[in-house]
Amino acid sequence: MALEVLIFDVDGTLANTEKDGHLVAFNLAFKELGLDWEWSNELYHELLNVTGGQLRIKYYLKKYKSDFQHNDLDNFVASIHKLKTSIYVRLMDEGAVPLRPGVERLFNEARAAGLRMAIATTTTPANVDALIANTLGKEALDWFEVIGAGDVVPNLKPAGDIYTYVLEAMNIDADKCLAFEDSYNGIISATQAGLKTLITVNEYTDTHEFEGACAILSNLGEPDQPFEMIKGNSTESTFVDVAYLQELHAQHC
């Protein structure tokens, strides 16, 4: 079965948006609202196990602010999250977070090779648009046939819903696709939808379990900046290009 479609996660995979984008935006939103909550990098590492910003705030309150009470918690959390999203978009507009090594190059090579591309992420749609538009230009949003983001599906990752949504929207079978992920929740989600997955780790996820990954790499690499292979079949490739993706996709993983 030939490889036809690449489906990309966003946070942690395309860019290190968690530390330099989301975490900063959460803390700025708390401060602006006069809340004495401040998430450290260490705490955020733990909170990242909960996908979805609103669920993450609720988990934090339950575990670390058990005295906190509000008569309309859902709306309160939604309003914090709305502010957090607007701050995140502003940070992206200011160029706070670059793409990870190899991402822009691979997008260009995949497009030139006629591969179809899509996005499957838990984050809010406005955040995806802001990252892509500010790193690659507004027109790059059209490179992705489907942008599956946020609560367009009922269950966030690790459920497979967002990947299944993208597959259905593209009218493609899972076995013609490859997913790009960075986290345990991400690979579980992609696997649930029947996809093979390539992992690039980051500082929050390098200790995660990635059972069934086709390969686990430090990043996608560049011709002058080889990736480090953490797990996978030996290869001639030193950076991820279309030929390497085809090689991976042909494997039993």
Catalytic residues: 9, 11
- Residue 248 Cβ, how far from ligand XBP at the closest point, in Å? 20
Task: Decide whether 47 or 241 has the Cβ nearer to ligand XBP.
Answer: 47
By CB under 6 A, the residues from 67 to 126 that bind ligand XBP are 121-124
By CB under 5 A, the residues from 147 to 186 that bind Mg ion are 182-183, 186
How many residues at the interface with ligand XBP, by CB under 6 A? 18
By the 10 Å C-beta count (0-12 exposed, 13-18 middle, 19+ buried), 95 is classed as: exposed
- Of 87, 144, 64, residue with least CA distance to 110: 144
- Residue 233 Cβ, how far from ligand XBP at the closest point, in Å? 25
Among the listed residues 3, 5, 8, 9, the single contact to Mg ion using CB under 5 A: 9
By CB under 6 A, the residues from 165 to 204 that bind ligand XBP are 183, 185-186
Q: To 10 degrees, the CA torsion angle through 12, 16, 17, 21?
A: 150
Contact at 8 Å (CB) between 206 and 200? no
Return the structure tokens found at 32: 């602006």
- Residue 231 Cβ, how far from ligand XBP at the closest point, in Å? 20
- Residue 114 Cβ, how far from ligand XBP at the closest point, in Å? 27
For residue 45, report the phi and psi dihedrals to the nearest 5 degrees: -55, -45
The DSSP output letter for 72 is T
Where does this chain touch ligand XBP (CB under 6 A) — which range of 51-59, 94-102, 106-114, 231-239?
Answer: 51-59
Strand arrangement, sheet containing 116-121? 146-149, 116-121, 5-8, 177-181, 196-200, 215-217, 229-232
Residue whose beta carbon is closest to ligand XBP: 53
Q: Does 160 bind ligand XBP (CB under 6 A)?
A: no
- Of 170, 178, 159, 146, residue with least CA distance to 3: 178
- Residues lying near Mg ion in the complex (CB under 5 A): 9, 11-12, 182-183, 186
